[in-house]
Amino acid sequence: MTVDPADRTRLFDLASVLLAYPDARLFSAADELRETVEALAHPEVRDRLAEFLDWLLTTESLAVETHYVRTFDLRRRSGLYLTYYLHGDTRKRGIALLTLKQRYRAHGLRLAEGELPDLLPVVLEFAAAAGPGDGEAPLRQHRRGLELLRCALEEAGSPYRHVLDAVVAALPPLTPDDRAAVAALAVDGPPVESVGLAAYGADVDAIGFGPELNSGSCPSLESAP
Protein backbone atom coordinates (compact mmCIF):
# COMPACT_ATOMS: atom_id res chain seq x y z
CA MET A 1 0.00 0.00 0.00
CA THR A 2 1.54 3.29 -1.09
CA VAL A 3 1.34 6.50 0.91
CA ASP A 4 -0.92 8.97 -0.92
CA PRO A 5 0.26 12.57 -1.56
CA ALA A 6 -1.85 14.13 1.19
CA ASP A 7 -0.55 11.64 3.75
CA ARG A 8 3.02 12.20 2.56
CA THR A 9 2.76 15.92 3.17
CA ARG A 10 1.26 15.43 6.64
CA LEU A 11 3.79 12.72 7.45
CA PHE A 12 6.88 14.72 6.48
CA ASP A 13 5.60 17.84 8.21
CA LEU A 14 4.81 15.90 11.39
CA ALA A 15 8.09 13.97 11.35
CA SER A 16 9.96 17.26 11.00
CA VAL A 17 8.32 18.45 14.22
CA LEU A 18 8.81 15.17 16.09
CA LEU A 19 12.52 14.94 15.21
CA ALA A 20 13.26 18.46 16.41
CA TYR A 21 14.38 19.06 20.00
CA PRO A 22 11.43 18.24 22.30
CA ASP A 23 10.72 21.62 23.85
CA ALA A 24 7.68 22.86 25.77
CA ARG A 25 5.84 23.80 22.57
CA LEU A 26 5.94 20.18 21.41
CA PHE A 27 4.41 18.84 24.62
CA SER A 28 1.76 21.56 24.66
CA ALA A 29 0.62 20.44 21.20
CA ALA A 30 -0.28 16.91 22.35
CA ASP A 31 -3.91 17.02 21.20
CA GLU A 32 -3.00 18.44 17.80
CA LEU A 33 -0.30 15.80 17.32
CA ARG A 34 -2.77 13.01 18.14
CA GLU A 35 -5.35 14.40 15.74
CA THR A 36 -2.81 14.68 12.93
CA VAL A 37 -1.69 11.08 13.38
CA GLU A 38 -5.26 9.77 13.56
CA ALA A 39 -6.05 11.55 10.28
CA LEU A 40 -3.42 9.58 8.39
CA ALA A 41 -4.93 6.98 6.08
CA HIS A 42 -1.89 4.70 5.70
CA PRO A 43 -2.15 2.12 8.52
CA GLU A 44 1.58 1.39 8.94
CA VAL A 45 2.52 5.05 9.04
CA ARG A 46 -0.34 5.85 11.43
CA ASP A 47 0.50 2.95 13.76
CA ARG A 48 4.22 3.77 13.87
CA LEU A 49 3.63 7.41 14.72
CA ALA A 50 0.91 6.56 17.24
CA GLU A 51 3.34 4.24 19.02
CA PHE A 52 5.93 6.99 19.14
CA LEU A 53 3.40 9.47 20.53
CA ASP A 54 2.37 6.97 23.20
CA TRP A 55 5.95 7.08 24.47
CA LEU A 56 6.51 10.80 23.95
CA LEU A 57 3.34 11.95 25.69
CA THR A 58 3.47 9.52 28.62
CA THR A 59 7.14 10.05 29.47
CA GLU A 60 8.38 12.81 31.77
CA SER A 61 9.59 15.73 29.65
CA LEU A 62 13.09 15.81 31.16
CA ALA A 63 13.53 12.12 30.38
CA VAL A 64 12.49 12.72 26.76
CA GLU A 65 14.90 15.65 26.45
CA THR A 66 17.73 13.59 27.93
CA HIS A 67 17.01 10.69 25.59
CA TYR A 68 16.98 13.04 22.60
CA VAL A 69 20.37 14.54 23.44
CA ARG A 70 21.96 11.17 24.16
CA THR A 71 20.53 9.70 20.96
CA PHE A 72 21.10 12.43 18.40
CA ASP A 73 23.75 14.73 19.86
CA LEU A 74 26.09 12.34 21.68
CA ARG A 75 26.00 9.24 19.46
CA ARG A 76 27.81 9.50 16.13
CA ARG A 77 25.87 6.54 14.77
CA SER A 78 22.53 8.30 15.08
CA GLY A 79 23.21 11.91 14.15
CA LEU A 80 20.57 13.81 12.21
CA TYR A 81 22.92 15.25 9.56
CA LEU A 82 22.23 13.17 6.46
CA THR A 83 25.19 14.07 4.23
CA TYR A 84 27.63 12.78 6.85
CA TYR A 85 26.49 9.18 6.39
CA LEU A 86 27.44 9.18 2.71
CA HIS A 87 30.31 11.66 2.56
CA GLY A 88 31.83 11.76 6.04
CA ASP A 89 34.20 14.66 6.71
CA THR A 90 35.16 15.14 3.07
CA ARG A 91 34.99 17.91 0.50
CA LYS A 92 32.11 16.05 -1.15
CA ARG A 93 30.05 16.75 1.93
CA GLY A 94 30.68 20.46 1.55
CA ILE A 95 29.45 20.30 -2.04
CA ALA A 96 26.36 18.33 -0.96
CA LEU A 97 25.57 20.94 1.71
CA LEU A 98 25.92 23.77 -0.78
CA THR A 99 23.67 21.96 -3.27
CA LEU A 100 20.98 21.58 -0.63
CA LYS A 101 21.21 25.25 0.30
CA GLN A 102 20.77 26.25 -3.32
CA ARG A 103 17.76 23.93 -3.71
CA TYR A 104 16.12 25.45 -0.63
CA ARG A 105 16.85 28.98 -1.77
CA ALA A 106 15.22 28.28 -5.14
CA HIS A 107 12.00 27.40 -3.28
CA GLY A 108 12.17 30.33 -0.87
CA LEU A 109 13.22 28.34 2.20
CA ARG A 110 15.69 30.17 4.43
CA LEU A 111 17.73 28.43 7.09
CA ALA A 112 18.11 29.70 10.64
CA GLU A 113 21.49 31.18 11.55
CA GLY A 114 24.07 28.39 11.89
CA GLU A 115 21.63 25.69 10.77
CA LEU A 116 22.96 23.08 8.37
CA PRO A 117 20.75 22.19 5.39
CA ASP A 118 21.15 18.42 5.84
CA LEU A 119 19.59 18.37 9.32
CA LEU A 120 16.81 15.79 8.93
CA PRO A 121 13.99 17.95 10.37
CA VAL A 122 14.92 20.65 7.84
CA VAL A 123 15.00 18.15 4.96
CA LEU A 124 11.57 16.86 6.01
CA GLU A 125 10.17 20.39 6.33
CA PHE A 126 11.33 21.09 2.78
CA ALA A 127 9.77 17.85 1.51
CA ALA A 128 6.42 18.80 3.06
CA ALA A 129 6.54 22.36 1.73
CA ALA A 130 7.81 21.70 -1.80
CA GLY A 131 5.99 18.42 -2.32
CA PRO A 132 6.76 15.39 -4.51
CA GLY A 133 9.51 15.75 -7.05
CA ASP A 134 11.94 18.48 -6.10
CA GLY A 135 10.81 18.60 -2.48
CA GLU A 136 11.31 14.91 -1.81
CA ALA A 137 14.48 14.60 -3.91
CA PRO A 138 16.85 15.13 -0.94
CA LEU A 139 15.15 12.31 0.98
CA ARG A 140 15.52 9.98 -1.99
CA GLN A 141 19.12 11.03 -2.57
CA HIS A 142 19.96 10.30 1.05
CA ARG A 143 17.92 7.12 1.32
CA ARG A 144 21.01 5.16 2.39
CA GLY A 145 21.77 7.62 5.17
CA LEU A 146 18.19 7.40 6.39
CA GLU A 147 18.49 3.63 6.50
CA LEU A 148 21.73 3.82 8.50
CA LEU A 149 20.07 6.17 10.97
CA ARG A 150 17.04 3.89 11.19
CA CYS A 151 19.31 0.91 11.84
CA ALA A 152 21.16 2.77 14.60
CA LEU A 153 17.91 3.74 16.30
CA GLU A 154 16.62 0.19 15.99
CA GLU A 155 19.85 -1.19 17.46
CA ALA A 156 19.63 1.26 20.37
CA GLY A 157 15.96 0.50 20.97
CA SER A 158 15.08 4.19 20.71
CA PRO A 159 11.40 5.10 20.34
CA TYR A 160 12.51 7.51 17.61
CA ARG A 161 12.93 4.46 15.38
CA HIS A 162 9.16 4.53 14.86
CA VAL A 163 9.38 7.99 13.28
CA LEU A 164 12.11 6.81 10.89
CA ASP A 165 10.08 3.69 10.07
CA ALA A 166 7.16 5.93 9.10
CA VAL A 167 9.34 8.19 6.95
CA VAL A 168 10.98 5.38 4.99
CA ALA A 169 7.60 3.73 4.45
CA ALA A 170 6.75 6.69 2.20
CA LEU A 171 9.96 6.40 0.16
CA PRO A 172 10.96 3.96 -2.59
CA PRO A 173 12.24 0.68 -1.13
CA LEU A 174 15.95 -0.03 -0.99
CA THR A 175 17.43 -1.68 -4.07
CA PRO A 176 19.86 -4.60 -3.72
CA ASP A 177 22.71 -2.16 -4.42
CA ASP A 178 21.40 0.15 -1.71
CA ARG A 179 21.27 -2.71 0.78
CA ALA A 180 24.84 -3.74 -0.01
CA ALA A 181 26.05 -0.14 0.31
CA VAL A 182 24.24 0.38 3.62
CA ALA A 183 25.63 -2.89 5.01
CA ALA A 184 29.17 -1.84 3.99
CA LEU A 185 28.78 1.62 5.52
CA ALA A 186 27.41 0.12 8.73
CA VAL A 187 30.67 -1.85 9.06
CA ASP A 188 33.24 0.58 7.65
CA GLY A 189 31.76 3.98 8.42
CA PRO A 190 31.79 6.97 6.05
CA PRO A 191 34.85 8.34 4.22
CA VAL A 192 37.33 10.31 6.31
CA GLU A 193 39.05 13.45 5.07
CA SER A 194 38.92 16.20 7.69
CA VAL A 195 38.12 19.57 6.16
CA GLY A 196 36.69 22.82 7.45
CA LEU A 197 33.00 23.19 6.62
CA ALA A 198 32.53 26.64 8.13
CA ALA A 199 31.81 28.08 4.69
CA TYR A 200 28.74 25.82 4.46
CA GLY A 201 27.12 26.92 7.71
CA ALA A 202 29.08 25.35 10.57
CA ASP A 203 32.38 23.72 11.38
CA VAL A 204 32.26 19.93 11.42
CA ASP A 205 33.88 19.89 14.86
CA ALA A 206 30.86 21.73 16.24
CA ILE A 207 28.58 18.95 15.00
CA GLY A 208 30.42 16.39 17.09
CA PHE A 209 30.89 13.83 14.32
CA GLY A 210 34.06 11.86 13.72
CA PRO A 211 35.16 8.70 11.90
CA GLU A 212 33.67 6.23 14.39
CA LEU A 213 30.25 5.70 12.84
CA ASN A 214 30.48 1.97 12.23
CA SER A 215 28.10 -0.25 14.17
CA GLY A 216 29.05 -3.58 12.64
CA SER A 217 25.48 -4.67 11.95
CA CYS A 218 22.09 -3.60 10.76
CA PRO A 219 19.31 -5.92 11.96
CA SER A 220 16.72 -4.80 9.43
CA LEU A 221 19.12 -5.47 6.55
CA GLU A 222 20.19 -8.83 7.88
CA SER A 223 16.58 -10.00 8.14
CA ALA A 224 15.59 -8.71 4.70
CA PRO A 225 15.29 -11.18 1.81
Per-residue pLDDT tens over the stretch 165-217: 999 999 988 889 988 988 888 877 777 665 554 444 444 444 434 334 444 45
Question: In the prediction, which pLDDT does 193 show?
Answer: 60
Question: In the prediction, which pLDDT does 223 show?
Answer: 46
Q: How far apart are CA 59 and CA 70, in angstroms?
A: 16
Question: In the prediction, which pLDDT does 97 show?
Answer: 94
- Is 165 in contact with 47 (CB distance < 8 Å)? no
Q: How far apart are CA 113 and CA 174, in angstroms?
A: 34
Q: Of 131, 132, 120, which Cα lies nearest the Cα of 163?
A: 120
SS3 86: helix
Prediction pTM value: 0.85
Backbone angles phi, psi at 195, to 5 degrees: -140, 155
- Which residues of the chain fall below pLDDT 70? 192-225
Question: In the prediction, which pLDDT does 200 show?
Answer: 44
* Rg of the chain over all Cα atoms, to the nearest angstrom: 17
Question: In the prediction, which pLDDT does 114 show?
Answer: 85
Question: In the prediction, which pLDDT does 154 show?
Answer: 94
